[in-house]
């Protein structure tokens, strides 16, 4: 059962007690990410994520690395446009140890200058690796073209130039000003009762250690979307493609219809794109569609890669399948299959404390509320074929298209003519 409480300092605590689980996944969510960075600080949320593991007054980086593994636990973190999450996964009996470590890192990291000198190189290599991975690069290019003036369009990881300019003082100042209790969520899923979580939360997180007592978090606005083509030359064997349009915010009333549209178009091996592009034509090894939904906007896109001599055919098929689903809609059979997949995914996800934790933490951090799985299933089952077709027709418009490509040569593309059937 999902429960929520608020500590005296404003920090929110959400839990889902799973008495039959052996594990507990414990997480602290900071309600800041790349979308809340000033222009000259691009990537600093991600840098702070790395540096929180580098030592506190109580523990050095080696002790942080070893202490959980000594009891069979794990610890990691990730950064997005809207939040940064630090989490552990352990046996339920080690919950207090996990919260002790996480809160110590979150509240008392020292960001040693000598550690930043080393970690800077690690992050710069991460940026280089990203640039050398064409399927990642083409997605980032798509995002920048779609969102040319909005913070959502900026790379979460930053750039080599911005990261190289940061000092230990930049990192410390950003963390101390943004990691405020009112914008922090403790999300715990697993074999620890809510009352036990609250008792330990009061002990480790309700004190006066927060330096960012009241960050005046800016409210983002809905993006103005771009359209058009973008291409980067890479001396590789294939051309990688992302073709898509503006999507929806995560709390839009049509978000479930969009998830079902995505499933039917390119969400699995039974989807239209997989069957037509890979199974029937053999054009690619990997093809899929995806939804990105943030608090104020998002995207709906398809990805595939193929050899240069077959790229024209691939683009025509991608465009045709998008146009066809917008013009003719989906069948009752397709809708029922997509609903069954969505429902099964939600219910099977309940078996993993890590999956439950992410659902709790993300939705509470971004939207200030958590939907139960039953509520989500009810919403998805209410979507009908007409709603999916209406949404496809609204989104999949030629004047909204963005096409990004990475490969050895640039194909000549009539972008406006792609969506024809």
Active site residues: 49
The two counts, helices (H) then strands (E), for the chain are 15, 11
Per DSSP, the residues of 187-236 read EEEESS-HHHHHHHHHHHHSSS--S-SS--PPPP-PPPP--EEEEEE--S
Tokens representing 214 are 């009241």
The upper half-sphere exposure of residue 55, i.e. CA atoms within 13 Å in the direction of its Cβ, equals 12
- CB atoms inside a 10 Å sphere around CB 384: 14
Residues 6+ apart with CB under 8 A from 114: none
CA distances from 222 to 35, 215, 394 (A): 12, 22, 17
CA 275 to chain centre: 27
- DSSP per-residue codes, 61-123: HHHHHHHTGGGT-EEEEEE-SS-EEEEEEEEGGGHHHHHHHHHHHHHHB---HHHHHHHHHHH
Q: What separation, in Å, do the N-terminal and C-terminal C-alpha atoms of the chain show? A: 48
Q: What is the DSSP string of 330-374?
A: --HHHHHHHHHHHHHHHHHHTT-HHHHHHHHHHHHHHHS----HH
Which of 353, 297, 363, 376 minimizes the C-alpha distance to 29?
Answer: 363
The sign of the torsion formed by the CA atoms of 144, 148, 149, 150 equals: negative
Helix, strand, coil % in the chain, rounded to nearest 5: 50, 20, 30
Separation between Cα atoms, residue 67 and residue 75, nearest integer Å: 10
Handedness of CA 146, 252, 293, 220 (dihedral sign): positive
Which of 197, 193, 190 minimizes the C-alpha distance to 22? 190
65 is written with which tokens?
């690395």
Are 10 and 81 in contact by the 8 Å Cβ rule? The answer is no
């Amino acid at each position: 059962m999902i429960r929520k409480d608020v500590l005296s300092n404003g920090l929110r605590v959400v839990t889902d007690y799973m008495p039959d689980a052996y594990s507990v996944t414990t997480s602290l969510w900071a309600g800041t990410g790349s979308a809340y960075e000033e222009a000259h600080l691009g990537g600093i949320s991600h840098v702070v994520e790395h540096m929180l593991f580098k030592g506190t007054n109580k523990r050095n980086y080696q002790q942080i690395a070893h202490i959980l593994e000594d009891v069979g636990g794990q610890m990691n973190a990730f950064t997005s446009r809207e939040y940064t999450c630090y989490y552990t996964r352990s046996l339920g009996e080690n919950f207090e140890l996990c919260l002790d470590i996480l809160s110590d890192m979150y509240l008392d990291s020292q960001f040693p200058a000598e550690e930043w000198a080393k970690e800077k190189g690690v992050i710069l290599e991460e940026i280089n690796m990203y640039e050398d991975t064409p399927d990642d690069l083409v997605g980032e290019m798509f995002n920048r073209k779609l969102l040319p003036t909005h913070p959502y369009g900026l790379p979460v990881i930053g750039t080599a130039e911005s990261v190289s300019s940061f000092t230990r003082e930049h990192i410390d100042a950003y963390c101390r000003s943004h990691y405020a209790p009112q914008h922090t969520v403790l999300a715990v899923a697993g074999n620890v009762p809510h009352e036990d979580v609250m008792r330990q939360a009061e002990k480790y997180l309700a004190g006066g250690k927060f330096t960012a007592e009241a960050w005046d978090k800016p409210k983002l606005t809905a993006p103005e979307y771009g359209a058009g083509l973008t291409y980067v030359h890479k001396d590789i064997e294939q051309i990688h493609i992302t073709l898509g349009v503006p999507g929806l915010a995560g709390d839009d009333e049509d978000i479930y219809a969009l998830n079902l549209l995505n499933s039917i178009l390119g969400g699995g091996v039974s989807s239209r794109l997989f069957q037509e592009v890979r199974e029937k034509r053999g054009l690619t090894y990997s093809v899929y569609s995806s939804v990105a939904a943030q608090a104020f906007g998002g995207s709906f896109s398809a990805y595939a890669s193929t050899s240069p001599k077959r790229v024209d055919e691939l683009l025509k098929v991608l465009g045709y399948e998008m146009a066809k689903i917008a013009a003719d809609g989906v069948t009752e059979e397709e809708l029922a299959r997509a609903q069954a997949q969505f429902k099964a995914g939600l219910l099977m996800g309940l078996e993993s404390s890590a999956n439950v934790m992410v659902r709790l933490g993300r939705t509470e951090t971004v939207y200030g509320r958590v939907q139960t799985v039953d509520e989500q299933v009810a919403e998805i089952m209410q979507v009908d074929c007409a709603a999916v077709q209406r949404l496809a027709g609204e989104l999949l418009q030629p004047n909204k298209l963005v096409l990004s490509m990475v490969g050895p040569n640039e194909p000549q593309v009539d972008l406006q003519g792609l969506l024809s059937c």
